[in-house]
Structure 1
Amino acid sequence: MRKTLFLLIAILGIGLGEVKAQDPQFSQFYAAPLYINPAFTGASGFTRLGINYRNQWPSLDASFVTFSFYADHYLEKYNSGVGFIVTTDREGVAGLQSTNAGLTYAYQLKVSDNLVFRPGIQANYFMRNANFSDLVFASQINPVTGFDPNLPGDPSVTGSNLNVNYLDLGVGGILYSRNLFLGASVQHLTEPNQSLLDGDSPLNQRVSIHGGYKIMLKEGALRRDLTYTRKERSITPIFQYKTQGEFSQLDAGFFLHLEPINLGLQYRGLPIKTFENFPNNEALIFSFGVTTSDFNFGYSYDYTLSELSNASGGAHEISISYLFQWGKPLRLPRDQWSIPCPKN
């Protein structure tokens, strides 16, 4: 189905001229560690592989599909984590696609017996491109017969080299104990020009502040023959506040962990602030996951609260991660502990 250029610009903000683009987002931000903050690199204490997949507004032609793959490893000898991440984001109207590949590094510093600080840095290479062949421009509309593909499109777009590549930097830090974590990150430090045409469209810095606190409940027990295996039960309130240019948003909610099951409920929005004269109430997020010692799976659904709720189809998201250690069992040293955020 043909779309108009106006729809593309209004919905996407893809960086034509002065239009500002926003980064992809993950509802399961806690399960996209290297995407949200390079300081999470190596934080598991082992070798970790993970993927994140998101399909936003699947019922619309202008859907957004995001896929991310990451891998990181903890170097115990150097108190450091190293990793890499590849993220692709595609929009359905004009085939706008953005791909970035990044290298991440974090250093682990034990502040006290109960507190750890991890600073991190990230270097990215971005590639963006778009295909306007399926768009309808105003100049291609015949007032009598309607759309005429033989009429010329917008000369400022037609025949242009619609791709751009650039380098980018990000930094972050996280402070955590056995129950509490608090982190912050800044991406796009250099605010590179991401315009697909000859204009100037800097990619605004993305700032994220995130944290949570794990509240331990009475342990459960699973009986096997004559023995009992202890099972963790906990509630973890979490939040993320992010801002990019004129756009700002808050994710807040909690997770109930009944080992190995995780159940979550979050709210996304910022009611005290409007965006483009629209109320900033975006979604309720329902999550379900399974966590074992080396494997994490999570699924979430965004129920849209805006006027798009009946037509958009919400958003579906899946996260998977796997931990392993070469030639050794998965066991952290006694003086080391993992960050107490939801695992899926």
Structure 2
Amino acid sequence: MNRNQWTGLEGAPVTTVAGADAALNLFGKKFGVGLEVMNDDIGFFNNLMIRLSFARRYLLGEGELGIGISTGILSQSFDGSGVVIPESDYHDPNDPQIPTEKISGFTPDFGLGAFYQGPNWYAGAGIQHLFAPEPNFQDEFYVYVHRSLFLTGGYLINLEERNFDLEPSIFFRQGGGSWQADLNVNLHFREKYWAGLTYRYQDAVVLLAGLNLKNGIRAGYSYDITISKLSNSSSGSHEIMIGYSFDLNINKKKKRYKSVRFL
């Protein structure tokens, strides 16, 4: 996945994510494992996160409940070589609190979450950067990453006679003293094509579409139409996604036969 946010705005966020996950059946129990690598550039900061996740799935009522944890490394760097401080009565161009060179640090990072999938609905909650990690920068440059809370839920409306499925959903995020809420509706056609519309409160209207191919490839694109005051400086945000699903067959035992001719 790659996201270019607020195109046209200098120092705007650019995020790239690559990952893999699998559902496993080990010793008669359902598990999930995953690996994620995310690189995020915003202004003078760069964040690189590498996370491993592990989840356990339980049958609950008519659906399944997954509870998972993640652990990994957060590496953050700040490039002070591009900082320009204007000289005035209020600014010190040689402010010792602002580095003038590239510095970096890293720290362990943890998260946890839960997700319930019912016959026609789902709901989930998660916490990222659980302990508000502090990258090990030099002592005079203190930075920490805000803890973030995520909530989501949705419902699937089957319109089988028309080969359509309608899926309204909601997404909420809170962290760093701010919050974000998305209201979304997706329309699925024959389990192959989908299109959607999202309203992000006081920020953007999002158009999205994608397809799922029989060979396991899926792809999607979204465009954010900025409706905040940032629309004066940005032409919107673009995001593309491509994925591939396949059967590992790692839970199937290979049949072996011992020949009587070779004892």
If the TM-score is normalised by the length of the shorter chain, which range does it land in?
A: 0.7 to 0.9
Structure 2 counterpart of 1:263: 195
> How far apart, CA to CA, are the structure 1 residues paired with 2:172 and 2:249?
40
Among 150, 159, 182, the residue aligned to 1:251: 182
Letter of the 1:86 counterpart: V
- What does residue 55 of structure 2 align with? 106
CA contact (8 A) 1:256 1:263 kept: yes
| From 246, 264, 283, the counterpart of 2:204 | 283
Asked if the contact 1:127–1:166 (Cα under 8 Å) also holds between the matched residues in 2, the reply is yes
**Is 2:235 the partner of 1:313?**
yes
Distance 1:119 1:185 in 2: 10
Query: Which consecutive residues of structure 2, in runs of 5 or more, have no partner in the other structure?
Result: 251-263
Match of 1:135 in 2: 83
Letter of the 1:290 counterpart? L
Partner of 1:226: none
Say if 2:20 and 2:36, in contact at 8 Å, map to a contact too.
Answer: yes
Distance 1:311 1:195, change over 3 A: farther
Q: Which residue identity is paired with 1:72?
A: D
**1:222-279 residue CA offsets vs partner (Å, 9 max, x unmatched):** xxxxxxxxxx41100011111003111101110011132211000112xxxxxxxxxx
Q: Which amino acid aligns with 1:182?
A: A
Per-residue deviation, residues 19-41 of structure 1 (Å, max 9, x unmatched): xxxxxxxxxxxxxxxxxxxxxxx
Tell me if structure 2 keeps the 8 A contact 1:205–1:244.
yes
Aligned residues: percent identity?
29
Tell whether the 8 Å contact from 1:195 to 1:202 is kept in structure 2 after alignment: no
Distance apart, 1:199 and its partner CA: 4.7
What is the identity, as a one-letter code, of the residue corresponding to 1:303? I
Distance 2:8 2:63 in 1: 46
1:215 maps to what in 2? 157
How many residue pairs match? The answer is 243
Query: Which of structures 1 and 2 has the larger relative contact order (alpha carbons within 8 angstroms, sep 6+)?
Result: 1
Per-residue displacement from partner, 1:173-210 (whole Å, max 9, x unpaired)? 01111210000001112112248552544322110010
Q: How far apart are the structure 1 equivalents of 2:173 and 2:93?
A: 41
5+ residue gaps, structure 1: 1-51, 141-150, 221-231, 270-280, 329-344
> 1:325, 1:297 → 2: CA distance?
18
Partner SS state of residue 203, structure 2: strand
Q: Tell me by how many angstroms 1:157 deviates.
A: 2.7
- Separation of aligned partners in 1, 2:146 and 2:23: 31
CA distance in 2, matches of 1:199, 1:135: 15
Q: Equivalent residues in 2 for 1:192-211 (5 A)? A: 192-194=133-135, 196=137, 198-211=140-153
Corresponding residue to 1:81 among 22, 32, 39: 32
**In 2: Cα distance, 1:117 partner to 1:264 partner:** 26
- TM-score of the superposed pair, with normalisation by structure 2: 0.85
Does 2:192 correspond to 1:241? no
Q: Which SS does the other structure have where 1:138 is aligned?
A: coil
* Preserved contact between residue 139 and residue 153 of structure 1 (Cα < 8 Å): no
Evaluate the alpha carbon distance shift between residue 200 and residue 62 of structure 1 in structure 2; reply closer, same or farther with a 3 A threshold. Answer: closer
Secondary structure at 1:61's aligned position in 2?
A: coil
Say if 2:113 is the partner of 1:172. yes
Change (3 A) 1:322 1:169: same
- After superposition, residues 8-23 of structure 1 pair within 5 angstroms as none
Q: Which structure shows the higher strand fraction? A: 2
Partner of 1:133, secondary structure, is: helix
Return the match for 2:6 from 35, 49, 57.
57
Matches of 1:160 and 1:314 in 2, distance apart?
31
Q: Higher helix share goes to which structure?
A: 1
Is the partner of 2:80 in helix, strand or coil?
A: coil
Q: Equivalent residue for 1:184?
A: 125
Decide whether aligned partners of structure 1 residues 158 and 327 sit closer, same or farther in structure 2, where only a CA change above 3 A counts.
closer
3-state SS of 1:76 partner: strand
Q: Distance in 2 between matches of 1:97 and 1:207?
A: 22
- Paired with 1:128 and 1:257, the residues of 2 have a C-alpha distance of 39
